[in-house]
Amino acid sequence: MSVETSVNTNLSADVAMISDLIRKAREAQRNYARYSQVQVDEVVTAAGWAIMHPAHNRLLAEMAVRDTGLGNVADKIQKNYRKTLGLLRDLKHAKTVGIIAEYPERGLVEIARPVGVVAAITPSTNPAATPANKIINALKGRNAVIVAPSPKGLSTCAALVAYIHAELAKVGAPLDLVQYLPGPITKQATQELMRQADLVVATGSQNNIRSAYASGSPAFGVGAGNVASIIDTSASLGEAAQQIASSKTFDNATSCSSENSVVILDSVYDSALAALTEAGGVLLNSEEKHHLQETMWPRGKLDSAVTAQSAPSIASLAGLTRPSVTQAKFLMVEEVGTGPDYPYSGEKLSPVLTVYRARNFDHACEIVNDIYGYLGAGHSVGIHTSDDGHILRLGNELPVCRVIVNQAHCFATGGSFENGLPFSLSMGCGTWGGNNLSENMNYRNFLNITRIVRRIPERVPSEEELFGEYLRKYG
């Protein structure tokens, strides 16, 4: 058999397999579309309990770490729990069936409608939490969903869907509302799923995001992370250091929202470094920094061997033997430049924190802007300060969709019980990050909205109202 014949045979098999999944999903979704809001919310609760059940949660976390080699069990348990709990809180009183809004003064009524069959593309970094989040949001909108896991995340996804099916059976909902691609997971099968689905929601590598946008189906994708945080002169240094440390080390920095760089103003630089050291960080010397760089980017590309590993494991791989380094919670390196020649200025997906020294706040903004000019534009920036003017300046000037103020970044960006952002594991990065949304992906992204439009009393503006001031000023 020729290579061409083999490729065509595999492609035909993928098309047939995906078509069968889509057919079953559509049949289940047509049934589900008739559910009342009460019934839908019961289905959503069932899917949420499937991952929040303590025994399920632990097993999913253990499988995720065992099969992907990324992160740690304790933090994945916490992530699965808190992200799902927060999402269910967000959805509890949200209307997604029938009339969801009325504007009598405008003559408009909004009715929620399903989008149909959702293709959920999910990463290996969060093989349970991210699929669960997308499944629950999709179900809230009376949709069916087919998950395309990463190859390493397949086993975790299969177990999650099995738990969800058991809960759906309890409430009498169609099991084919939630399906996943069977192994082996291939790019061809994932692309075919995206092509046949009604909506694609993609999280993961930028290759996945570009494929989603190129699939021919409507798609929501997210941008690359490379978060920087500023420690301002008015920051509470001890609190800022503890928040950065907890964010940087959580699940071995699998989150795209973990700080990759911290920009410290000169007048508090030494004190802030001391606080970060007290919080568990160790600053590498120039020789250690060089050895670590060769280990992390051996051929100019971030090596997967260091991704989401603990700081001591990374130090061991790099041959770093200083006792404080081998026991560190996270490693710190000082840097002065940005871009391809300065790989520490990019996303590291590991407990390695790049430290920049800024002369003043203007310089701090320049450094962050340069970092995002290289990688991470659109995502978010952190700031530790009591200066509202500095906070607003970041929101007005930097290419970011979120400014996280005095919070642990990876916990705050995706929604927190201490802020008002929707709980999500998929953060839109706007046009800066090549995305068509700038908010946290949420249930409204999984809805079509039909508008009933009634006549209202006519009001036609006069030319004076529209042009009077302009003409008086410019003639």
Are residues 233 and 85 both part of a single domain?
no
Assigned domain for 30 exists: yes
* Reported confidence tier of residue 255, pLDDT bands at 50, 70, 90: very high
Residue 378 β-bridge partners: 400
* SS3 call for 354: strand
Q: Which residues, at least 6 apart from 364, have a Cβ–Cβ distance to it below 8 Å?
A: 230, 232, 263, 265, 358
Question: Does the pLDDT value for residue 7 go beyond 70?
Answer: no
User: Residue 5's pLDDT is what?
Assistant: 53
CATH of the domain at 232: 3.40.309.10
What is the overall mean pLDDT for the chain? 96
To the query of whether residue 256 is one of the catalytic residues in this protein, the response is yes
Q: Examine the domain organization and report whether 131 and 251 are in the same domain.
A: no
Q: Are the CB atoms for 382 and 409 separated by under 8 Å?
A: yes
For the chain, percent of residues with pLDDT exceeding 70: 98
Pick from 359, 361, 357, 307: nearest CA to 337: 357
In this prediction, residue 8 carries a pLDDT of 59
What's the pLDDT band for 413 if we cut at 50, 70, 90? very high
Instruction: Output the six-digit token pair for 206.
Output: 């930028």
Tell whether 125 and 209 lie within a shared domain.
yes
Write down the residue that tokens 């008002």 correspond to.
420
Q: Are residues 114 and 199 in the same domain?
A: yes
Whether residue 235 is found in the same domain as residue 156: no
- 220-224, 245-249, 383-387, 403-407: the lowest-pLDDT one: 220-224
Mean predicted confidence (pLDDT) in 8-13: 72
Kindly state whether residue 463 falls inside one of the protein's structural domains. no
Residue 469 lies in a domain: no
Q: Within this chain, do residues 49 and 183 fall inside the same structural domain, yes or no? A: yes
One domain, residues 97 and 208:
yes
Tell me, yes or no, whether 71 and 155 share the same domain.
Answer: yes
- Assess whether 347 and 399 both reside in one domain: yes
User: What pLDDT does 205 receive?
Assistant: 85
- Report d(CA 49, CA 373) in Å as an integer: 42
- 169 belongs to a structural domain: yes
Q: What's the pLDDT score for residue 80? A: 97
Give the closest residue to 234 by CA, choosing from 356, 361, 354: 361
Q: What mean pLDDT do residues 200-216 have?
A: 92
What is 183-234 written as a DSSP string?
SSP-HHHHHHHHHHSSEEEE-S-HHHHHHHHTSSS-EEE------EEEE-TT
Cα–Cα distance measured from residue 135 to residue 128, given in angstroms and rounded to the nearest whole number: 11
Mean pLDDT of all residues in 171-178: 98
Q: Is the pLDDT of residue 3 over 90?
A: no
User: Same domain, yes or no, for 257 and 398?
Assistant: yes
Cβ burial, residue 93 (10 Å; 0-12/13-18/19+): exposed
CA-based nearest residue to 409, from 385, 435, 383: 383
Is residue 382, in this structure, part of any structural domain at all?
yes
Omega prior to 184 cis, within 30 of 0: yes
User: Which tens digits make up the pLDDT trace of 81-111?
Assistant: 999 999 999 999 999 999 999 999 999 999 9
CATH code for position 136 = 3.40.605.10
Q: What is the pLDDT of residues 28-86, one digit of tens each?
A: 999 999 999 999 999 999 999 999 999 999 999 999 999 999 999 999 999 999 999 99
Domain that holds residue 311: 228-433
For the chain, the domain total comes to: 2
pLDDT at 9: 61
Is residue 384's pLDDT more than 70?
Answer: yes
Q: Does residue 271 register a pLDDT over 80?
A: yes
Distance, in Å, from the CA atom of 290 to the CA atom of 377, rounded to the nearest integer, reads 27
Give the residue among 234, 236, 237, 259 at the shortest CA–CA distance from 355.
259
Q: Are 178 and 127 in the same domain?
A: yes
Dmax over CA atoms of the chain, in Å, equals 80
In DSSP terms, 131 is beta-bridged to none
What is the arithmetic mean of pLDDT over 201-210?
A: 91
In a domain, 466, yes or no: no
Residue 244 forms part of a structural domain: yes
Residues 196 and 250 both lie in one domain: no
Catalytic residue among 256, 401, 410, 429: 256
What is the total residue count of the chain? 475
Nearest to 97 by CA among 78, 114, 74: 114
User: Is 474 inside any structural domain?
Assistant: no
